[in-house]
Structure 1
Amino acid sequence: MSLPVTSKQEVAQLLAQLPDDATLEDIQYHVYVLEKIRRGRADIAAGRGHTHEQARERLARWLPR
């Protein structure tokens, strides 16, 4: 069993994958996306997710047909 990856390790891995000419804005965006993914996974693990069908039903109220 592997140890959990720390936030610092996650960012270090991200930085290693980005091109050398990545801007600070690029880095900020990718860190933002990582955090959103982490929060989404935590929500799903806590039972706060929705099925595909539930999402369709919710979006149908907002989107014109």
Structure 2
Amino acid sequence: MQTAVSEVKELLNKLPEESSYEDIQYHLYVIAKIQQGIARAETEGTVSHEEVEKHFDRVFD
């Protein structure tokens, strides 16, 4: 598992030199949200595609 510092360094190396502070903050926000989602899926589980389709079929019929 990478440390936060190493992940930020990797991100900075991938972004264009002309990236603004706002661009960097946005990318960090997205990375954090993805990590939170993965952690939540690991602890709470996920719903299959078929289950989602069944749910929406009931809701929108």
Tell me if both proteins adopt one fold, taking TM over 0.5 as the criterion.
Answer: yes
| Greater relative contact order structure (CA < 8 Å, 6+ sep) | 2
Tell me the number of residue pairs that the alignment of Structure 1 and Structure 2 aligns: 60
Query: Normalising by structure 1, what TM-score?
Result: 0.73
Give, in whole Å, the separation in 1 of the partners of 2:52 and 2:4: 30
| Structure 2 unmatched runs, 5+ | none
Structure 1 residues 36 and 55: alpha-carbon distance in aligned structure 2, compared to 1, 3 A threshold: farther
Aligned position for 1:49: 46
Match of 1:36 among 24, 33, 36: 33
| Structure 1 unmatched runs, 5+ | none
After superposition, the CA RMSD in angstroms is 2.2
What is the CA deviation profile of residues 9-45 of structure 1, one whole-angstrom value per residue up to 9, with x for unaligned ones?
A: 1111001000000011100000000001100110111
After the TM superposition, list the runs of 4 or more consecutive aligned residues in structure 1 that deviate by more than 6 angstroms. none
Aligned: 1:21 with 2:18: yes
Give, in whole Å, the separation in 2 of the partners of 1:50 and 1:20: 40
Identity %: 36
